[in-house]
Structure formats: C-alpha cells, structure tokens
Amino acid sequence: MTLPLVGAILALSSILASLFSLSNFLRKKENFFLLSYFLFLFLHFLSIEWTFWTSGYNLFVILSSLNFPVCSYFAGWLLFTIFLCEKFKRRKYWIAFLLILVIGWIIGVNCMNCLVL
C-alpha cells in the first residue's frame, strides 16, 4: 500500500466517523454519540500523526517543544471532549480518554519503533 493511499484511507475514515457522530447526535443517542466522537478523534489524530510521520516530523517532539499552534489545537480538542462528556454527565469517559492519552504519550515518546519487527 502506498503512503498517499494510507493517508487517504485515514482521512476518509475520519470523515465517515464524523458523519456517524453527527447522525447519532441528531438522533439523540448519547452513548453512541460519545463513542463515535472518540472514534473520530482517534482516527483524526492517527491521520495527523501519519501526515507528520510521512513528512519526516515526529509529532511527539513537536508537542514536547511546545509549538503553540499544534499544542493549542490538541488542547482545544481535549477541552471540547471534557465539555461534551460533562454535558452528557459521563465523567468516567473523559477520565478514561485522558488516561489513554497519557499511556499513548508515554509509549510514543519512549518507544517510537516498538511496532517495527
């Protein structure tokens, strides 16, 4: 699979997840909405990481160097996630999301090539 094809698949799946999230929001299905929202965030962040990686950048190094636009982008998503979960009274969801982000950050910073065999 070529690199642009993988990027296109990630972008398309992110768009489909956002449409799925929107449809669940309009049908007032709170649990499915939050699940599809987290799926969208996962796919969106994965596509951003893939784009940086194919361009030769390490996203974790960029975030660690406190690049203001990138940090504010991710902080905005994090605050919006907390707001949505608090709106639907699902505090456990955003705490679990935050723990998954911290674990992913630790793995990403300390083991960049762990999945390469």
Ordered by start, the domain boundaries in the chain are 3-110
Find the range with the poorest average confidence among 1-5, 24-28, 83-87, 107-111. Answer: 1-5
Dist. CA 18–CA 103, nearest whole Å: 24
Per-residue pLDDT, averaged over 76-98, amounts to: 83
By the 10 Å C-beta count (0-12 exposed, 13-18 middle, 19+ buried), 2 is classed as exposed
Give me the pLDDT at residue 117, please.
Answer: 45
Does residue 64 have a pLDDT over 50? yes
Does residue 112 have a pLDDT over 50? yes
Does residue 33 have a pLDDT over 70? yes
Helices (H), the chain: 3-26, 30-54, 59-64, 68-87, 91-110
Give me the pLDDT at residue 47, please.
Answer: 75
Per-residue pLDDT, averaged over 95-100, amounts to: 84
Average pLDDT, the chain: 75
Give me the pLDDT at residue 77, please.
Answer: 81
Size of the chain, expressed as the number of residues it contains: 117
- For 90, the 3-state DSSP assignment is coil
